[in-house]
Amino acid sequence: CYKLFEELGIPGPSPIPLFGNVAEFKDKSPLDVFKKWAGIYGNVYGFYEGFNPSMVVSDPDVIHHILVKDFDKFQDRPLCSPFVFYPMHLSLGVTKGELWKQQRHVVASGFSTLSIKQMLPNMLIKTESLMEKLEWKIREEPDGHNVTEILGRYMLDSLAYGAFNYNCDSLNNDDEILLKYVQQYNYAASTENPCSGLARLFPSLTPFCKLFTGKLRNALDKHVKQVMTFLEKEKLVISRSDEESKHGNLIQSLLTTKATCHDENNNIYKRYLSDEEIVAQVASMVGGGIGPDSALMSFLVYNLAIHQDVQQKVMEEINLYIKDSEDVTYDTLYKLNYLDMVINETFRVFPVAPGVARTCVEDTVINGTQFKAGTVIRIMACVMYADDSIFPEPEKFIPERFSRSECEKRHPFTSLPFGLGPRGCVGKRLGLMQCKLAVVHILRKYQILQTNQTEVPLQTVLKPVLSPKNGIHVRLIPRENSGFC
Ligand code: HEM
């Protein structure tokens, strides 16, 4: 059963019976293993996760084919977590083929510019709560503290209230149903979780491993019940209100947008998503969106603390466009080009999503390499980010690499923080807006400094997105006292 790659003439490490090549990852950063293998086997090679063949790709031309040109042959995604409970099998990240296409159209329409602009007022309310929380924390620990937990909880509150009108306060309440669910969701997919590791390696053991997921199921059940009540509430709002207010949040958009479908004779018809499908989308967007959102925010704060010159430039740009709080609009946030470059460079240095995955659904040949149906394809963007022929001096933090002129010199498929193509991240603009909103508020009030507890270099862990292993320790000092405006 370990003959596939040999027969196809695809290079890769030699597997050992039962485990394939996973032993190589023991006690190492998976990112380092993929970088090492790329150095030995090149930009397209194969390895075995247990018995399962996976192809690893970090060649931008081949990636372009997989994500866009030959999308129909690679449109499905393998499961990110082996534990999928009702109704999550209906969520966008999991569904396949025709059902995915129908849902994607509906979900994507909830992320239009107009919809995102409508989410901003609720997010601003949560940003005020963040600022209050930070002020309190600074009074308690004036010499610096770990900001990761606070930032993560803020991102959750802001996402839930902005996108779903779901007013949760995880910043101040450890027992928030949503917070408990997100913690369990992340743990279930984390590489630190031995149970999910075992189920990934030996899928036939998944039913056994599921016996140990009581906490996840419990947290999911409570979350699903809560989302159901929000759904009923939004249905009432829709039945009462005029057309104008119908797209006030993502749940309303999911309730009122129709999917285009084809029957067995290829006739077109339209349908609304079922309640189960809507609940699955909300639950998975909260669970799946918040991990990368929070990790990005922490890494960004870290980079601003370590690179004071970069922080100064971001501040100058903010001062240029945002004079007072009324200027914090979708349009002004959009103008912060230098901040965009800093975010892109943060994604490169700390690849929150080190790669994206697809399943090959039909045999195909790309640039002379054969891809067999059923094979998992791991597009490891992190390998390109560390390649000095693409990003010279990759160990340095240089936001200017992402200026428009520099980007035009590179292959567009060398930077994939949100994936790309028809199955790329649907929440990209929302995630970026949340992050910019928080950075603008923090920087207008505080200078971010590193402390003697700030890790250099920073240790990271995959859980399931790349995150700071021990959090981010920084000191915030009010700008009026810092002499730095
Ligand atoms: C900084 C924040 C975020 C990052 C870095 C990120 C990254 C990603 C990546 C890499 C993918 C896989 C794309 C692919 O396979 O090509 C993805 C998919 C997805 N993301 Fe995000 N994401 C973020 C925020 C969000 C937010 C805020 C939401 C929703 C509220 C969201 C919803 C989704 C969904 C639903 C998918 C699956 C799309 C599909 O299969 O059609 N993401 N994201």
What is the Å distance from ligand 1's center to 422 Cα?
12
387 pLDDT exceeds 80? yes
Query: Is residue 425 annotated as involved in ligand binding?
Result: yes
83 pLDDT exceeds 60? yes
The atom of ligand 1 lying closest to the CA of 353 is 10
Amino acid at 239: S
The arithmetic mean of pLDDT across residues 313-336, rounded, is: 93
The arithmetic mean of pLDDT across residues 313-338, rounded, is: 94
Whether 92 is in the pocket of ligand 1, judged by its Cβ within 6 Å, is yes
Calculate the CA dihedral of residues 332, 108, 91, 277 and round it to 10 degrees: 120
User: Is 92 in contact with 254 (CB distance < 8 Å)?
Assistant: no
Share of the chain above pLDDT 90, in %: 83
The strand ranges marked E within 193-296 are: 258-262, 268-272
Whether 424 is in the pocket of ligand 1, judged by its Cβ within 6 Å, is yes
Pick from 343, 355, 362: nearest CA to 385: 355
DSSP state of 352: S
| Model pLDDT, residue 82 | 82
Query: d(Cα 377, Cα 476) in Å, to the nearest integer?
Result: 43
pLDDT, tens only, 200-254:
888 889 889 888 889 999 999 999 999 999 999 889 888 876 666 555 789 999 9
What is the Å distance from ligand 1's center to 81 Cα?
15
Mean pLDDT of the chain: 93
* Ligand 1 atom 9: residue of nearest CA: 418
**Six-digit token string for 408:** 């035009």
| Model pLDDT, residue 186 | 85
* Ligand 1 atom 37: residue of nearest CA: 93
Whether 291 is in the pocket of ligand 1, judged by its Cβ within 6 Å, is no
Tell me how long the chain is: 485
384 pLDDT exceeds 90? yes
Whether 289 is in the pocket of ligand 1, judged by its Cβ within 6 Å, is yes
Query: d(Cα 181, Cα 390) in Å, to the nearest integer?
Result: 39
Whether 351 is in the pocket of ligand 1, judged by its Cβ within 6 Å, is no
Distances (CA, A) of 158 to 164, 222, 289, 469: 10, 20, 12, 23
Share of the chain above pLDDT 70, in %: 98
Query: d(Cα 391, Cα 381) in Å, to the nearest integer?
Result: 12
| Model pLDDT, residue 190 | 80
What is the Å distance from ligand 1's center to 215 Cα?
25
Pick from 466, 346, 334, 338: nearest CA to 415: 346
Whether 110 is in the pocket of ligand 1, judged by its Cβ within 6 Å, is no
* Ligand 1 atom 4: residue of nearest CA: 292
pLDDT, tens only, 420-477:
999 999 999 999 999 999 999 999 999 999 999 999 999 999 888 999 999 999 999 9
* Ligand 1 atom 18: residue of nearest CA: 425
- Partner residues linked to 20 by β-bridges: 16, 49
The atom of ligand 1 lying closest to the CA of 104 is 41
| Model pLDDT, residue 247 | 54
pLDDT, tens only, 2-50:
999 999 999 999 999 999 999 999 989 999 999 999 999 999 999 999 9
485 pLDDT exceeds 50? no
The atom of ligand 1 lying closest to the CA of 107 is 35
CB burial string 278-313: b at 16+ within 10 A, e below: bbbbbbbbbbbbbbbbbbbbbbbbbbbbbbeebbeb
377 pLDDT exceeds 70? yes
The model's confidence at residue 274, banded by pLDDT at 50, 70 and 90, is very high
Task: Let me know if 474 is exposed, middle or buried by CB neighbors in 10 A (0-12, 13-18, 19+).
Answer: buried
The model's confidence at residue 483, banded by pLDDT at 50, 70 and 90, is very low
User: Is 199 in contact with 205 (CB distance < 8 Å)?
Assistant: yes
What is the Å distance from ligand 1's center to 78 Cα?
14
191 or 456, greater pLDDT: 456
Dihedral sign computed on CA atoms, order 137, 142, 147, 149: negative
| Model pLDDT, residue 81 | 78
User: Is 106 in contact with 273 (CB distance < 8 Å)?
Assistant: yes
| Model pLDDT, residue 245 | 55
Residue 358: which H helix or E strand, with range? strand 355-359
| Model pLDDT, residue 484 | 42
CA atoms within 13 A on the CB side of 170: 23
Whether 101 is in the pocket of ligand 1, judged by its Cβ within 6 Å, is no
* Ligand 1 atom 7: residue of nearest CA: 418
